[in-house]
């Protein structure tokens, strides 16, 4: 084989030298260390396998059941045909509302997430306490699903798109703030040092050394969150927070399969178009 | 390769490279004999890097012919792979994979010879690893084999870069400004290793450099490049101030003193 051919080429034949090279190669770890490493790897593998098996049993993961369910799924899909195209006219308003919820949910998310991200980046935070507090707030915002937020806001401000916007905004702020903070932590520290050396203050350093470096990342994250928000906004209606989701849940509950079909088609189209436009726009900006 | 082991190792004829409307190389003709060490001298932007990258086709030439070991270089994938693995390259910024250990960086020099499957699982035989260690030994870096590349200093990283190129078992070594990011003492050490590789292993070397004093210390044959044209090709002893003016364009005190 070619690979061994090159391995032998010019490889020294002087036995003393060769022995020294081998010694060097073996110096990475002693046999005892090697066995210990292998034991640790094996143990890890066993633990992972046990956890996967145990969780699968506990949650009734069963291929057999899925296979037995296929006829029921096929039946469900068959009843969706043909989709109720006429119903799409009634869905125009809710579709636009869904996009509007996503726009404002993203914009407010950016506005809230930006300061939290700046304060929660270890390399530029003014104080460790502020860093810890921002990270905690971001974790809390991210940990709660937008659906849960939507339920809370629906009871606070009533049914409609507004609670949906608030819910998306809070969840987006949690996500974006973390992304922002991590992008800032990954920047090249050189320019920051150079500006510090000129006597620039905290805000000046952020504006001149940090923002230019992270802008492309921020744009990517914002557009990604907008796409995700479109998706999320299609289900917010399930809990009464406006958008097309309300029509999805009512058609499912009324067993109107053909209406369900058209709602699903519109949702998929919405996501596909957003993704397409997002990709085009990103390529142009970055 | 057997039949072509006579004759020049590298022949470049009428090489041209345009980037849009910018002309990087106008009309370059250059022949390298087996075992030669050629210093390519010129200021930044003269086309030195482009010339090197045309040779191993990191940059596709606009026009002209390049023959390596008598065989014309084409863009055909199989041909290109066979050809690139016989040409090592070292870079100004070292271009090591910083998060991988030194030894794995050197092993990447072998990838041109390895089938895809074992290499993506990082399977290397003991002989292959020994060979990588030997390459490291040649640049006195074997003692750092298991450290991550980003823990090394610049000079050490460049030595690992040289070991990676050596592991290709190259016939030709392209060194693109290998010491431009290093301080003078370390730069001389690194140039020493390159010279040693040329003299002891018989590997032909093309060395891009912009400082004349380094060129004087290491070189025999000097090729001067200015504005994409070769303005001088001859022995180091003929490198007069007049010739330097032609290469550096009249302001030598700014450009070639270190």
How high is the pLDDT of residue B204? 95
pLDDT in tens, A206-248: 899 998 999 888 988 998 899 899 888 888 888 888 888 888 8
Q: Same structural domain for residues A161 and A271?
A: yes
- Is A146 inside a domain boundary? yes
How high is the pLDDT of residue A10? 56
Average the pLDDT over A189-194 and give the result.
90
Q: Which residues of B touch A3 (CB under 8 A)?
A: 110, 113-115, 118, 125, 128
pLDDT in tens, B177-200: 999 989 999 999 999 999 999 999
Q: Same structural domain for residues A28 and A112?
A: no
- Length of chain A equals 286
CA-wise closest residue to B200 among B123, B244, B139, B117: B139
Q: Same structural domain for residues A252 and A125?
A: yes
Q: B66: part of which helix (H) or strand (E)?
A: strand B63-68
C-alpha span between B200 and B172 (Å, rounded): 14
For B204, the token pair is 């032909």
- Minimal-distance CA residue of chain B relative to A9: B169
Q: Contact A167/A147 with Cβ under 8 angstroms? A: yes
C-alpha span between B83 and B171 (Å, rounded): 10
Average the pLDDT over B18-22 and give the result.
91
Q: Same structural domain for residues A93 and A196?
A: yes
- Is A77 inside a domain boundary? no
pTM: 0.76
**Could you tell me the CA-to-CA distances from A2 to A8, B110, B111, B114 in Å, in that order?**
10, 10, 11, 7
- Is A67 inside a domain boundary? no
Q: Same structural domain for residues A90 and A230?
A: yes
Q: How far is B166 from chain A (nearest CA, A)?
A: 11
C-alpha span between B182 and B97 (Å, rounded): 19
- Is A79 inside a domain boundary? no
pLDDT band at A4 (very low <50, low <70, confident <90, very high): very low
pLDDT band at A16 (very low <50, low <70, confident <90, very high): confident
pLDDT band at B44 (very low <50, low <70, confident <90, very high): confident
Q: Does the pLDDT value for residue A19 go beyond 90?
A: no
- Is A80 inside a domain boundary? no
How high is the pLDDT of residue A171? 95
- Interface contact flag, A24 B146, Cβ < 8 Å: no
Question: What is the ipTM, given to two decimal places?
Answer: 0.71
Q: B191: part of which helix (H) or strand (E)?
A: helix B184-201
Per-residue H/E/C for chain A: CHHHHHHHCCCCCCHHHHHHHHHHHHCCCCHHHHHHHHHHHHHHHHHHHHHHHHHHHHCCCCHHHHHHHHHHHHHHHHHCCCCCCCHHHHHHHHHHHHHHHHHHHHHHHHHHHHHHHHHCCCCCCCCHHHHHHHHHHHHHHHHCCHHHHHHHHHHHHCCCHHHHHHHHHHHHHHHHHHHHHHHHHCCCHHHHHHHHHCCCCHHHHHHHHHHHHHHHHHHHHHHHHHHHHHHHHHHHHHHCCCCCHHHHHHHHHCCCHHHHHHHHHHHHHHHHHHHHHHHHHHHHHC
Residues B149, B155, B158, B162: is their CA dihedral positive or negative?
A: negative
Name every residue whose Cβ is closer than 8 Å to that of residue A278 and which is 6 or more positions away in sequence: A223, A224, A226, A227
The three-state secondary structure class of B170 is coil
Q: Same structural domain for residues A276 and A137?
A: yes
What is the DSSP secondary structure assignment for residue B114, as one 8-state letter? S
Minimal Cβ distance to B131: which of A11, A24, A27 = A11
Q: Same structural domain for residues A275 and A222?
A: yes
Q: Same structural domain for residues A211 and A163?
A: yes
- Interface contact flag, A7 B125, Cβ < 8 Å: yes
- When computed from its CA atoms, the radius of gyration of chain A, rounded to whole angstroms, is 28
Q: Does the pLDDT value for residue B257 go beyond 70?
A: no
pLDDT in tens, B62-120: 999 999 998 898 888 888 898 899 999 999 999 999 999 999 999 999 999 988 888 88
Q: Does the pLDDT value for residue A198 go beyond 90?
A: no
Helices A128-143 and A87-119: angle between axes, nearest 10 degrees: 160
pLDDT in tens, B130-180: 999 999 999 999 999 999 999 999 999 999 999 999 999 999 999 999 999
**Could you tell me the CA-to-CA distances from A58 to A35, A47, A54, A55, B19 in Å, in that order?**
34, 16, 6, 5, 63
Name every residue whose Cβ is closer than 8 Å to that of residue B121 and which is 6 or more positions away in sequence: none
Q: Does the pLDDT value for residue A103 go beyond 50?
A: yes
Q: Same structural domain for residues A107 and A233?
A: yes
Q: Same structural domain for residues A100 and A20?
A: no
Residues above pLDDT 90, as percent of chain A: 44
- Mean pLDDT over the full length of chain B: 89
Place of tokens 């145990």: A54
The three-state secondary structure class of B69 is coil
Range 100-159 of B in CB contact (< 8 A) with A: 110, 113-115, 118, 125-131, 133-134, 137, 142-143, 145-146
Helices A63-79 and A257-285: angle between axes, nearest 10 degrees: 100
A284 Cα distance to chain centroid:
23
Q: How many interchain CB pairs under 8 A, A with B?
A: 56
Domain boundary among A61, A94, A112: A61
Q: Same structural domain for residues A29 and A118?
A: no
Number of Cα atoms under 13 Å in the Cβ half of residue A38: 7
- Is A73 inside a domain boundary? no
Report the number of distinct structural domains present in chain A: 2
Name every residue whose Cβ is closer than 8 Å to that of residue B144 and which is 6 or more positions away in sequence: B102, B136, B152, B156, B160
Question: Residue A115's domain is classified under what CATH number?
Answer: 1.10.3720.10
Average the pLDDT over A112-135 and give the result.
93
- Interface contact flag, B130 A18, Cβ < 8 Å: yes
Q: Does the pLDDT value for residue B219 go beyond 60?
A: yes
- Is A103 inside a domain boundary? yes
Average the pLDDT over B10-22 and give the result.
93
Q: How far is A161 from chain B (nearest CA, A)?
A: 48
Residue span of the structural domain in which A253 resides: 86-285
Q: Same structural domain for residues A246 and A149?
A: yes
Cβ of A19: how many Cβ atoms within 10 Å?
10
pLDDT band at B6 (very low <50, low <70, confident <90, very high): low
- Is A274 inside a domain boundary? yes
For B198, the token pair is 């040329």
**Nearest 10 degrees: Cα torsion B126, B132, B138, B143:** -80
Q: B184: part of which helix (H) or strand (E)?
A: helix B184-201
How high is the pLDDT of residue A199? 86
- Mean pLDDT over the full length of chain A: 88
Beta strands in B215-257 (DSSP E): 221-226, 229-235
């Amino acid at each position: 084989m070619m690979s061994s051919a090159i391995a032998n080429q010019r490889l020294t034949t002087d036995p003393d030298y060769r022995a020294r090279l081998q010694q060097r190669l073996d110096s990475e770890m002693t046999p005892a260390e090697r066995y210990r490493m292998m034991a640790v790897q094996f143990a890890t593998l066993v633990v992972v396998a046990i956890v996967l098996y145990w969780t699968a049993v506990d949650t009734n993961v069963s291929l057999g059941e899925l296979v037995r369910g296929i006829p029921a799924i096929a039946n469900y899909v068959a009843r969706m045909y043909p989709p109720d195209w006429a119903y799409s006219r009634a869905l125009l308003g809710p579709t636009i509302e869904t996009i509007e919820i996503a726009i404002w949910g993203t914009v407010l998310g950016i506005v809230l997430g930006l300061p939290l991200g700046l304060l929660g980046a270890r390399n530029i935070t003014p104080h460790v306490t502020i860093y810890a507090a921002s990270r905690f707030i971001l974790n809390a915002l991210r940990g709660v699903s937008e659906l849960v937020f939507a339920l809370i806001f629906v009871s606070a401000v009533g049914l409609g798109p507004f609670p949906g916007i608030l819910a998306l905004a809070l969840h987006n702020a949690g996500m974006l703030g973390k992304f922002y903070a991590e992008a800032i932590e990954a920047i090249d520290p050189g320019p920051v040092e150079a500006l510090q050396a000129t006597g620039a203050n905290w805000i000046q350093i952020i504006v001149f050394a940090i923002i230019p470096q992270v802008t492309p990342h921020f744009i990517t994250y914002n557009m990604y969150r907008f796409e995700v928000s479109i998706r999320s906004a299609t289900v917010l209606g399930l809990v009464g927070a406006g958008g097309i989701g309300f029509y999805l849940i009512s058609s499912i509950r009324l067993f109107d399969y053909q209406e369900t079909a058209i709602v699903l088609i519109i949702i998929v189209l919405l996501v596909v178009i957003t993704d397409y436009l997002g990709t085009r726009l990103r390529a142009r900006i970055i | 390769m057997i039949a072509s082991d006579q004759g020049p190792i590298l022949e470049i004829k009428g090489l041209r490279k345009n980037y849009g409307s910018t002309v990087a190389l106008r009309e370059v003709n250059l022949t390298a004999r087996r075992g030669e060490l050629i210093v390519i001298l010129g200021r930044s932007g003269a086309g030195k890097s482009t010339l090197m990258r045309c040779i191993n086709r990191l940059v596709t030439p606009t026009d002209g012919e390049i023959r390596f070991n008598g065989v014309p270089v084409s863009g055909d994938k199989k041909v290109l792979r066979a050809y690139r693995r016989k040409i090592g390259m070292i870079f100004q910024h070292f271009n090591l994979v910083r998060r991988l250990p030194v030894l794995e960086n050197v092993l990447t020099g072998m990838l041109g010879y390895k089938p895809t499957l074992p290499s993506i699982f990082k399977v290397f035989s003991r002989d292959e690893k020994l060979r990588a260690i030997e390459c490291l030994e040649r640049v006195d870096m074997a003692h750092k084999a298991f450290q991550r590349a980003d823990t090394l200093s610049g000079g050490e990283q460049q030595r690992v870069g040289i070991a990676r190129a050596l592991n290709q078992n190259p016939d030709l070594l392209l060194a693109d400004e290998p010491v431009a990011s290093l301080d003078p003492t370390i730069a001389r050490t690194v140039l020493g290793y390159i010279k040693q590789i040329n003299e002891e292993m018989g590997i032909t070397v093309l060395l891009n450099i912009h400082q004349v004093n380094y060129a004087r210390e290491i070189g025999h044959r000097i090729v001067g490049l200015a504005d994409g044209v070769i303005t001088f090709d001859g022995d180091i002893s003929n490198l007069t101030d007049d010739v330097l003016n032609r290469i550096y364009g009249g302001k030598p005190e700014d450009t070639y003193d270190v």
